[in-house]
Structure 1
């Protein structure tokens, strides 16, 4: 049984929205990182972007 079959339609839809939000967050943090002049801020934003991307890569 796959995840979609195990979850209610409402919960599955919410999970997909969370996944979409993680992808959007990753893109946003990468954009912010590219504009940072301070190396430490740039590094921090890229780390957050990576974490968001990793969250979004979890399969449903």
Structure 2
């Protein structure tokens, strides 16, 4: 899980309100997906896609 947490903190943009509001949701979601047996690569892909969708919708 530490690899995913580091990835979220360093690879996803951390500017804007999403970071303070969404950061913990991304961490919690990554942990749930990891516990469900998903690979780190798949989790990263999903979280990256979700970030892009939200940023696109809200102008991030």
TM-score band by shorter chain is 0.3 to 0.5
Q: What TM-score do the two structures reach when normalised by structure 1?
A: 0.39
Query: Normalized against structure 2, the TM-score is what?
Result: 0.39
Please say which structure displays the higher CA radius of gyration: 1
